Amino acid sequence: MSLIVQKYGGTSVADLERINVVAKRISSTFEQGNDLVVILSAMAGVTDGLISKALQVTTKPDKRELDVLLATGEQITSALMAITLQTMNYSAISLLGFQANVLTNTDHGNARIVEIDTSRISFHLDKRKIVIIAGFQGWDPDKNITTLGRGGSDTSAVAIAAALNADVCEIYTDVDGIYTADPNVCKKARKLDKISYDEILEMASLGAKVLQIRSVEIAKKYNVPVHVRSSFSEEEGTMVVNEYPEMESIIVSGVTSNKDEARITLKQVPDQPGIAEKIFNPITDAGIVVDMIIQNTWVGDTTDITFTVPMGDYEKALEIETEVAKNIMAEEVRGDSNISKVSVTGVGMKNHSGVASLMFKTLAAENINIIMISTSEIRISCVIEEKYTELAVRALHTAFGLDKQ
């Protein structure tokens, strides 16, 4: 007998029919004698719909109230799942984030889990109940409802699995595992049987939304075995594991893309000590995370500085920098949201050269201009024009020998 945590994403519980299918999978896992905790997302499209409703009322909804609204999506699926299981004669109970004691900080819309007191979950498990928990939500020390950021049910699931010391955390989604590239973009992508925590961490932070990045951070920290698989088939999926020696022989294991960034350029900035601080301090103070930065040196005494920020912070960052530009006497500020970042990742890159040059050659052969470049030990990223994203992903996938035969 094992303790299993299963998480079902939005498409897996998109309507009553899907909830019924998932209920059967849950009951069969339970029938095998396992203890079972199930984390649910909202039905596909529901969170987006709730956000757009709030935005119809005001362009800047209060973050606390937005969390109260968004948390309802997961409440609906959790109750419907418990009701469905009960009609099948299983003893099931739904718990909202606060009832499951998922304590978070107060950062509404992007809260971090601080602690999970599992006593109420364990109480019901001891009574052989199937415990259904609404994902994506918790409460803060003042008992306000919080949400964990888009895709946050993955994080709820892995954190609850870690807190319960579960034997496995199964993430059920609409693809049957983690692929060498998004299978919905690159038809030749291959499913990986295994991937290391570090590789999927890197891929998640570069735009592979199959797992929310924080869920991978928690999985790695607490060594939670994570199995990403489909709720639409019985196929084994992908196991997320610790790095093992043979992995280093694979130079590139994945290609990712992210359209969710924008770039800001300050033109003709005086080239003096302290200028970078003046440009980036107000951005950091506003809680905006800068990704890539480049500085072009010019003949004379000015320089151009370009950096990227998440799309959600673009307008704010542009506003801040327009003010900064006036103060530091920069010539002008330009923004561009039609960019995307394509990246190749692989732990084997640590010991191999030539990855960057093959990447640049491949993009050049497709006539794709590289706007910015950044690297880490196991990744190379290029910012390109957004319209070339899919073309770039496919070309890189082929060039690095990842296509399935």
CA dist 181 and 189 (Å) reads 5
Q: Note whether 151 binds ligand ADP by CB under 6 A.
A: yes
Among 90, 98, 136, 400, binds ligand ASP (CB under 6 A): 136
Residues 269-328 that bind ligand ADP (CB under 6 A): none
User: Judged by CB under 6 A, does residue 211 bind ligand ASP?
Assistant: no
Among candidates 272, 290, 285, 287, which has minimal Cα distance to 327?
Answer: 272
Question: Judged by CB under 6 A, does residue 147 bind ligand ADP?
Answer: no
Q: Pick one of 6, 10, 102, 146: the residue that binds ligand ASP (CB under 6 A).
A: 10
Q: Token pair for residue 361? A: 């050659």
104 binds ligand ASP (CB under 6 A): no
Q: Which of 98, 179, 197, 307 binds ligand ADP (CB under 6 A)?
A: 179
- Residue 210 near ligand ADP by CB under 6 A: yes
Query: What stretches of 27-173 adopt beta strand conformation (E)?
Result: 35-40, 92-95, 102-104, 113-116, 130-134, 137-139, 145-147, 168-173
151 part of the interface to Mg ion, by CB under 5 A: yes
Q: How far apart are CA 166 and CA 180, in angstroms?
A: 28
Q: Measured from the CB of residue 8, what is the shortest distance to ligand ASP in angstroms?
A: 10
**Cβ-proximal residues to 380 (8 Å cutoff; 6+ apart), any chain:** 343, 344, 349, 355, 356, 359, 373, 374
Per CB under 6 A, the list member of 73, 97, 177, 207 interacting with ligand ASP is 73
CA dist 287 to 114, 281, 335, Å? 19, 10, 19
Question: Which is closer to ligand ADP, CB of 186 or CB of 363?
Answer: 186
| Residue 310 identity (one-letter amino acid) | P
Nearer to ligand ADP, 14 or 269 (CB): 14
Q: Rounded distance, CA 174 to CA 230, Å?
A: 6
Kindly determine how many residues on this chain lie close enough to bind ligand ASP according to the rule CB under 6 A: 13
Binding mask 370-399 for Mg ion (x = CB under 5 A): ------------------------------
Q: Taking CB under 5 A as the rule, does residue 135 contact Mg ion? A: no
Q: Determine, following the binding rule CB under 5 A, whether residue 97 of this chain makes contact with Mg ion.
A: no
CB-based contact 256:345 (threshold 8 Å): yes
Report how far residue 123's alpha carbon sits from residue 153's, in angstroms, rounded to the nearest whole number.
Answer: 22
The residue length of the chain stands at: 405
Residue 8 binds to ligand ASP (criterion: CB under 6 A): no
Site for ligand ADP, rule CB under 6 A: 9-12, 41, 151, 173-175, 178-179, 181-184, 208-210, 254
* Contacts to ligand ASP by CB under 6 A: 9-10, 41-42, 47, 73, 135-136, 150-154
